Amino acid sequence: MAEATKRYAVVTGSNKGIGFGICRQLASNGVVTVVTARDEKRGLEAVEKLKECGVSDEHVVFHQLDVADPASIASLADFIKIKYGKLDILVNNAGISGGIIDSDAFAAAGGGKNIPNEWAKGVLGDADNLTEERVDEVLSEFLKDFKEGSLETKGWPGFVPAYKVSKAALNAYTRIVANKYPSFHVNCVCPGFVKTDINLNTGLLTSDEGAESAVKLALLPNEGPSGVFFEQNKVSTFD
């Protein structure tokens, strides 16, 4: 493959679960894929496991990344710029539950994009007037109500509220970034209820099955959609 035609990808939180599956599938499609993890030992072990699965040395590499640490993010950005000179694909997969999870209740809660607070739903669903400041306003109001112990009376989710509100905010941010950078494809996807550590492996899909929808979006052709929410392989609404 000529150097100019190579594609380069970063997958956050990819030493296990869906992220690991995304790395394997991207690398198997000839994409040079950077596996990332907060813990270097686990990340390097993930790279070795990928190689054991048949991924070639030239298509997978590890770099430490903690998405909550600006210095760590800057270090990865410098690495990409110096080593590859470009980045074609970024899969924002890293996440935490933010609490102790009851797996049965988590399954019943669904993918986490819906929130019952009508005001917040209206703000996040108003695509024409959506800005980062408006998203921040929703999150600030949620935090205020959380501290006051009024989540239920204000119409916020009753189960894993931070998880669900953060999902809705990130989905809204997808629209903002897509509008800001029209030359990029920026989409979000719910991979389905996948067996991962976050739900104590009680999901219905395997990690590889969950990774398929994300990989499909990552490999979209130039004429593909942007600013769209997918539930697995189907276009869905942001509501």
- Render 206-237 in DSSP notation, one character per residue: -HHHHHHHHHHHHT--TT---S-EEETTEEE-
Task: Report the distance separating Cα 188 and Cα 186, nearest Å.
Answer: 7
The CATH class of the 98-210+223-239 domain is: alpha beta
Q: Which residues contact 90 (CB under 8 A, 6 or more apart)?
A: 9, 10, 12
Q: Which CATH number fits domain 7-95: 3.40.640.10, 3.40.50.2300, 3.40.1280.10, 3.40.50.720?
A: 3.40.50.720
Q: What pTM did the predictor assign?
A: 0.88
**Chain position carrying tokens 């104590």:** 200
pLDDT at 107 over 90: no
8 catalytic per annotation: no
pLDDT in tens, 152-202: 999 999 888 998 899 999 999 999 999 999 999 999 999 999 998 888 888
Catalytic residue among 84, 163, 173, 181: 163
- % of the chain surpassing 90 pLDDT: 80
Specify the pLDDT at position 238: 85
Q: Which residues contact 29 (CB under 8 A, 6 or more apart)?
A: 215, 219
Task: Report the distance separating Cα 27 and Cα 216, nearest Å.
Answer: 13
Q: Say if 7-95 and 98-210+223-239 have the same CATH topology.
A: yes
Specify the pLDDT at position 4: 62
Q: Where are the beta strands (DSSP E) in the chain?
A: 8-11, 32-37, 60-64, 89-91, 188-190, 229-231, 234-236
Mean pLDDT of all residues belonging to the chain? 91
DSSP 120: H
Confidence grade of residue 214 (pLDDT, cut at 50, 70, 90): very high
Q: Where are the domains of the chain?
A: 7-95, 98-210+223-239
